[in-house]
A and B are shown apart, each in its own frame.
Chain A
Amino acid sequence: MKPAPKPTPETQPFWDGTAAGELRIQRCRPCARHYFYPRPSCPRCGGDQVEWVRASGRATLYSYVLNHRPAPGFENEAPYPIAVVELEEGVRMMTNIVGVPATPEHLPLDMELRVVFEQRGDVSVPLFEPAGGAR
């Protein structure tokens, strides 16, 4: 079984979002900048005037590896892409790229992506697929 995250109080809104099919991230109001991972303090100004907003779900592929030694739950998928994507809002997160063959030819950096969600136990995790849909 693939690992499922366990929310904590400061990350609960993020996981509430994924459960609702939304990618929610935080934004500092004075700085007008988004940030990730969830925490109650803006990493730029140190302030707590932060709010949760819905991200567009559009992203680009920043970097990745193709893992040939699968983690528990991923045995049938190796090699699989472990990626870091950059959201349209400017923040990055780790994810998997799905809906595309796991080869370098099919995974050019900066390719356009969109968020999809996969259920893991009680929690839904954000994954990304090509912006034009699965290939």
Chain B
Amino acid sequence: MTVVIAGAAETDELGRLPGHSTTQLHLEAARNALADANMTIHDIDGIATVGTPGPIQIAHALGITPAWLDGTGVGGSSFLFHVRHAAAAIRAGLCRTVLITHGESGRSRVGAGRFGMGADSLLGQFELPYGVVGPSTSFTITALRYMKETGLTHEQLAEVAVAQRRWAHLNPRAMYQDLITVEDVLASRMVAYPFHLLECCLVTDGGGALVVTSEERARRSPVYLLGSGESAESPIISQMEDFTTSKGFRLSGEAAFAEAKITHEDVDHLMVYDAFAHVPIYGLEDLGFVGRGEAGAFIADGHTSPGGRLPLNTNGGGLSYTHTGMYGMFAIQESVRQLRGEAAAQVPDVELSVVLGNGGMFASAATLVLANRLP
């Protein structure tokens, strides 16, 4: 059975939305995705979303009585997991049409869950005592090791933010659109050396939703799911096996490419979760698009920028477009737009797109291979 994304949409607005609660963001995104799919709540029998508020509340708030639920909450990659799990459930006949929702009041924190882990948690015992303040001080901690082992320069790290801003410059929905230079990045405030402010993602409010179903139930031009993969590594970054490569990126990518039966030459467009500037570098290498230590120069040479041979993070990414906290939904949305030919910064002739999602600090990972035609 061929599984497709039959509906996809974001909230009307992204950015600073103090008038929207977390639940409202879910519901607005859900209604927009259902409209995009030419469907109603009565077509939906499966629901997937992360932890708070969770699939029970979102299904109930929308008026859906689900025959299948997935509450997988493994960080920002969760929505890629949901697509993969929904496809398996649809193929197994457990449900017919799944609604996947994301809403996060990441900036305004309206109706949002509380941050924080107990002093007796793994984090509370082995990270928090050392003054970590979230992802900016833990997700980033691998970078100096990567730089030492590969020769990546501070300028090349900054080039990631410069390249993505070139895409955001073409996208009226991007939070930051003004072009920037390497000098601008290196002159921006230091957050956690070696990371400057412009090498760290935004913190925004927003949401997105997807309708996943079988090809025959789709009521609009579908986006085909050709392959997917998922994996996980360590719940705390200090236990990541090798600070220069993500096992989850590698394994989920290999699985997705194998299922889709594609090679790198087949890929027209790529989204790599970019909470911080080093993550797309790991993504390019761990998915095998370039060799070890080559991604920094690849990006600096413009190959991922507009007009380049591997358009990457074409919405501007978490660094410039939006980052609610769990960005993966927005990476999928941009792939769908590119495959439909509806993106703000549309790449010509995109037929196949790969999305790599990260969860936590290189903790979980999932990869989707999407296309607008069957092979």
Contact = CB atoms under 8 A, between A and B. Distances in A.
Interface of A: 2-8, 11, 36-37, 62-71, 73-74, 77, 79-80, 82-84, 92-96, 104, 109, 120, 125
B125 A11 contact: yes
A71 B189 CA distance: 17
A5 B125 contact: yes
Contacts of A2: 129, 131
A27 B71 CA distance: 36
Contact of B133 (A36, A66, A71, A84): A71
Contact of A37 (B120, B130, B194, B236): B236
> Which of B125, B130, B193 counts the most A-chain CB atoms under 10 A from its CB?
B130
Contacts, number: 117
A108 to B, nearest CB: 9
Contacts of B61: none
A102 to B, nearest CB: 9
B148 interface: yes
Pairs A-B, 10 closest by C-beta atoms: A63-B145, A66-B193, A6-B119, A6-B120, A5-B125, A65-B192, A71-B131, A74-B131, A94-B238, A3-B128
B243 A62 contact: yes
Given A67-B131, A71-B132, A82-B132, A37 B141 contact: no
A7 B130 contact: no
A123 to B, nearest CB: 8
B129 A63 contact: no
B137 A109 contact: no
A3 B129 CA distance: 5
Contacts of B195: 65
Report which residue of A36, A65, A104, A120 has the largest number of chain B beta carbons within 10 angstroms of its beta carbon: A65
Given A6-B119, A125-B129, A62 B137 contact: no
A37 B122 contact: yes
18 contacts: A5-B125, A64-B144, A65-B141, A65-B192, A65-B195, A66-B193, A67-B132, A68-B193, A70-B133, A71-B131, A79-B190, A79-B193, A82-B132, A82-B141, A82-B192, A94-B130, A94-B237, A109-B145
